[in-house]
Structure 1
């Protein structure tokens, strides 16, 4: 199986797992951690262009699991985290990872946050090394083993 197909299958599997847990994923910590994760993946290479920002925002708006929350609220949180990352990536990353870590109190939510990172990262068919690295860092912040997610 080609790498592209494995990435696509992995993202689809993660999305299916998320949908199965949709009703359990309604807390503010999950919402904030998910948007922080999306921002980390979008800015993984240290920069973000407007088209990438728009693409990820569109993925957030259409993700069924995230529809538990108002779209405008998700967008403003995503934008705020991206702003932190674009002003000073290294310092912003520390702050954004702290937001991700807030989901570690509930293991199901913590895993779901990682799965959202994988879904967002793999949505374009190229879950590249920098995106995998930030999701791996998020695993550590959430006290999860990256190997559980093939990272």
Structure 2
């Protein structure tokens, strides 16, 4: 239970950081990279169950930072990235990581995208090894050290 509490506190701290930067996170690159990250984490284990889709829908609906964008647009983009990953995970992952990498020139956006990945990964109470691995790959795509996020 201590690990779950630690993960929850870390996710809450990241959410607080995101909200503090809400006004800086309004670009199309951030929007697209955020949804690409959500799809990547949701599909990390090779399948996406309805509960994972529901967690992402919940994040889209309730996350203050993502409220900068229309929810239906975010949902559509998430589904597009998810479809790429489910059609061919290896090829889709390359495309999705390229989308995430577009935030590399803006470190605040890059960090926010990684934080969203961690929040989504931990939303079910566990941030498993496959989810951690794809978030770690996303860190490299945006030029950030995984150690900065304890990955």
Q: How many residues align?
A: 151
Residue 139 (structure 2) aligns with: 139
Residue 79 (structure 1) aligns with: 79
Deviates more, 1:64-73 or 1:49-58: 49-58
> Residue by residue, what CA displacement relative to the aligned partner does 1:105-141 show, whole Å, maximum 9, x if unpaired?
1011000100111111111111111111110000000
Q: CA RMSD in A?
A: 1.0
For the 8 Å contact 2:56–2:120, the answer to whether it is kept is yes
Residue 119 (structure 1) aligns with: 119
For the 8 Å contact 2:32–2:99, the answer to whether it is kept is yes
Unaligned 5+ runs, structure 2: none
Runs of 4+ in 1 over 6 A off after TM superposition: none
> Residue by residue, what CA displacement relative to the aligned partner does 1:12-38 show, whole Å, maximum 9, x if unpaired?
111010000001000000000000000
For the 8 Å contact 2:36–2:96, the answer to whether it is kept is yes
Deviates more, 1:41-50 or 1:71-80: 41-50
* TM-score, length basis structure 1: 0.97
Residue pairs, 1:91-130, within 5 angstroms: 91-130=91-130
Residue pairs, 1:1-150, within 5 angstroms: 2-150=2-150
For the 8 Å contact 2:37–2:113, the answer to whether it is kept is yes
What secondary structure sits across from 2:81 in the alignment? helix
